[in-house]
Amino acid sequence: MRTKFILSVGLLFLGILARNSALGAPVDMPTRPNDIPPNDPAPGEMPPGEGLSGSMLPGGTSSASPYTFSGSYTLDGKTGKETNANYTADTDDTSAVYVLNCSRLTLINPTISTRGNSSSMDASSFYGLNAAVLAASDSYVEITGGSVTTTGSGANGVFATGKGTTINLTGITINCTGEGGHGVDATLEGVLNLKDVDIITAGSHSAAIATDRGSGIINVDGGKVATYGRDSPGIYSTGTISVKDAVISGIGAEGAVIEGKNTIALTNTTLNCGKQTTGGIMIYQSFSGDAENGTGNFMMNGGSISSTTGPVFYITNTDAEIDLNAVNVTSASGTLIKAAASDRWGQSGSNGGIVAFTATDEDLAGDLVCDSLSMIEAVLRNGTTLAGSIDPEGKGKFVSLSIDASSTWEVTGTSYLDGLYDGDAGLTNIHGNGFTVYYDSSQKANDWLGAKTYSLADGGELKPIN
């Protein structure tokens, strides 16, 4: 017997009247509780260390921390400008360039390199310890041309931390080969702006474009990005990351990961990605303390997603909103969305995925898969076609589809829906292809179907499950 999740009449009625002016409001799905304890760390980050003090910031040590931030070249409260200069650091926990206390630095065609290791992966990820270029405490750095190379563990390429800190990068190359070496990273409301920047990372836990604790803001325009290490997605967001006109490749990893209440927005970007278990784009919550609890937002306008393995989207232990507009999506796995609990994150019994998915002007192929702890609300509009089954095993806690009259669902397997709204009252835009779609006639918002069985175009039926 299929497990059912019965919403109140009022909420459900709003839900299946969809998410735009033509289709109405989204399903009001329950939000996740705030008291779920921490579990595993993020797939693209290092596990928490030895209780690093949150009061420790670049610029010195705190009473709770043994770490000191320093640079081979340090600019403290001053203004500087250099052209064609070399900056190197061979010592552990040492940046090649360190800018702090409202400094302003301009570098043209620099060669920047480090070979030292970090004594704390937490300090490196949260505050930029051992980064090749580290800017903190309301400082500004502008780098045009040149290169940044790091080989040590925890050696991020370029790191901005703290409110008021901004780094602008134009036309440079960044290559980080050590474990935990992100290409660029922003934390504690630091800002990074990239224009035509190429990034390669090779170590494990080394996302190329990353934000971490305290969030950060990164804007990317153009450039090519590739990650080759284990658990190293192309983009990792615990803040706000926007990318346009770029090529992002996660080789054997996710192309993009969102943790918690954070955002990734892509425009005309090419995303090449895929990991067997967590797919091409992952949205989740680890409850490690790195990201605020809430809805993760993935938005993409134009461009393409090529997922080589696993589901295109994998959502677990969090709420997610996914919005695709004229994106070319291809998947080798045959699964478009997987919303499911995982034994890695969250509290067993309440760690499923809750997904609101909107597709506009899309040509999609793949199944929407849901377990008994998870929910999917799918909206197809403006000429979208979906070829796939929806909740093919009938396990979903709650699954709904809203489809406007201009869109088409090509059913490719037995499907189950708790809620259905179709802008075409004649259901001619649902092509059964010989398969049965079951709907829940006990839901008030499905009253328009009259608990009847309908023949679908190209064979198959829409029929009540109860």
- As a whole number of Å, the CA-based R_g of the chain is 24
Nearest alpha carbon to residue 39 among 49, 50, 48: 48
In the prediction, which pLDDT does 1 show?
Answer: 30
Contact 388, 336 (CB under 8 A): yes
How many whole angstroms separate alpha carbon 211 and alpha carbon 161? Answer: 10
Query: For the whole model, what pTM was predicted?
Result: 0.88
Looking at residue 147, its pLDDT comes to 98
3-state secondary structure of 34: coil
- Residue 300 inside a domain? The answer is yes
Strands 454-455 and 461-464, sheet pairing: antiparallel
β-partners of residue 325 are 301, 360
DSSP state letters, 64-130: T-----EEEEEEES-EEEEES-EEEE-STTEEEEEEESS-EEEEES-EEEE-PPPS-HHHHHHH-TT
Q: For the segment 260-318, what is each residue's pLDDT rounded down to a tens digit?
A: 889 999 999 999 998 888 889 999 998 777 767 889 999 999 999 999 999 999 999 99
d(CA 315, CA 305) in angstroms, rounded, equals: 17
Neighbouring residues of 111: CB distance < 8 A, sequence distance ≥ 6: 85, 86, 87, 146, 147
Q: For 396-434, what is each residue's pLDDT tens digit?
A: 999 999 999 999 999 999 999 999 999 999 999 999 999
- Domain presence at residue 82: no
Contact (CB, 8 A) for 445 and 15: yes
Residue 275 lies in a domain: yes
Looking at the DSSP bridge assignments, the partners of residue 110 are: none
Total domains present in the chain: 1
Residues 6 or more apart whose CB falls under 8 angstroms from that of 227 comprise 200, 201, 202, 206, 207, 208, 233, 234, 249, 250, 251, 253
297 in any annotated domain: yes
- The pLDDT, as a whole number, for residue 59 is 54
8 Å CB contact between 327 and 302 = yes
How far apart, in whole angstroms, are the C-alpha atoms of residue 320 and residue 150? 35
List of residues 6+ apart from 74 with CB closer than 8 A: 98, 99, 100
Per-residue model confidence (pLDDT) at position 155: 98
pLDDT of 62 reads 36
pLDDT of residue 425: 94
Look up the domain containing 218 and give its range.
9-66+116-464
Residue 23 lies in a domain: yes
Q: Given a cut of 80, is residue 50 above it in pLDDT?
A: no
- Of 238, 187, 232, whose CA–CA distance to 208 is shortest? 232
pLDDT, greater one: 80 or 47? 80
Q: Give percent of the chain with pLDDT exceeding 70.
A: 86
Compute the distance between CA of residue 72 and CA of residue 83 in angstroms, rounded to an integer.
17
| Predicted local distance difference test score (pLDDT) of residue 22 | 38
pLDDT at residue 57, rounded to an integer: 64
| Amino acid making up residue 324 | L
| Statement: residue 354 has pLDDT above 60 | yes
In the chain, % of residues over pLDDT 90:
78
How far apart CA 7 and CA 422 sit, in angstroms, is 20
Closest listed residue to residue 400, CA positions, set 34, 31, 1, 24:
24
Write out pLDDT tens, residues 155-213.
Answer: 999 999 999 999 999 999 999 999 999 999 999 999 999 999 999 999 999 999 999 98
Report the greatest alpha carbon distance in the chain: 76
pLDDT at 27 (0 to 100): 37
Task: State yes or no: pLDDT of 345 exceeds 90.
Answer: no
| Distance of alpha carbon 368 from alpha carbon 16, whole angstroms | 17
Average pLDDT, the chain: 88
In contact, 355 and 377? CB cutoff 8 Å: yes
Residue whose C-alpha is closest to residue 17's, from 350, 346, 403 = 403
Q: Residue 214 corresponds to which tokens in the numbers above?
A: 């305290």
Residue 97 within any structural domain of the chain:
no
Q: Does residue 108 belong to any structural domain of this protein?
A: no
Q: Given a cut of 50, is residue 32 above it in pLDDT?
A: no
Does 254 score more than 80 pLDDT? yes
Q: Of 57, 62, 213, 71, which Cα lies nearest the Cα of 136?
A: 57
Amino acid 290: pLDDT: 73
In a domain, 96, yes or no: no
Q: pLDDT of 108-131, one tens digit each?
A: 999 999 999 999 999 999 999 999
Q: Assess contact for 317 and 345: CB atoms under 8 A.
A: yes
